[in-house]
């Protein structure tokens, strides 16, 4: 019997957040908010995490709601790329 090893392609994570800083060239800081439940008391609270995301053409600015995708390391802190702007 021959066993074939199936390789599954891992999908990169996609998150939605808001651009909070556009002061760097080709880099934007995106804040992603999520709700978390306290393990003991059960209350929900808001947690914010900031990600540095790549923006090649410097098209996104502070206040824009964007979708970011996980990518290969582009610098020391940058591991995300902005995919698109979300319009509401």
Global pTM value: 0.83
With respect to residue 5, please indicate whether it lies within any of the assigned structural domains.
no
In a domain, 4, yes or no: no
Give domain status of residue 76, yes or no. yes
Alpha-carbon span 18 to 7, nearest angstrom = 34
If one counts the domains in the chain, the total is 1
- Percent of the chain surpassing pLDDT 90: 85
CATH number at residue 36: 2.40.50.140
Within-domain flag for 22: yes
Q: Is residue 7 part of a domain?
A: no
List of residues 6+ apart from 19 with CB closer than 8 A: 28, 29, 30, 60, 61, 62, 63, 64, 65, 66
pLDDT tens, position by position, 33-71: 999 999 999 999 999 999 999 999 999 999 999 999 999
Supply the range of the domain harboring residue 23: 14-85
With beta carbons less than 8 A apart as the criterion, state whether 27 and 52 touch. Answer: yes
Is residue 3 one of the residues assigned to a domain?
no
| 40: in domain | yes
Q: Give domain status of residue 63, yes or no.
A: yes
Is 47 exposed, middle or buried (CB count within 10 Å of its CB: 0-12, 13-18, 19+)?
Answer: exposed
């Amino acid at each position: 019997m021959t066993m074939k090893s199936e390789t599954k392609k891992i999908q990169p994570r996609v998150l939605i957040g808001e651009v909070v800083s556009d002061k760097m060239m080709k880099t934007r800081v995106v804040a992603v908010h999520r709700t978390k439940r306290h393990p003991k008391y059960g209350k929900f609270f808001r947690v914010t995490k900031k990600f540095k995301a790549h923006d090649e053409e410097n098209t996104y600015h502070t206040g824009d709601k964007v979708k970011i995708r996980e990518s290969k390391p582009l610098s020391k802190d940058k591991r995300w790329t902005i995919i698109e702007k979300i319009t509401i």
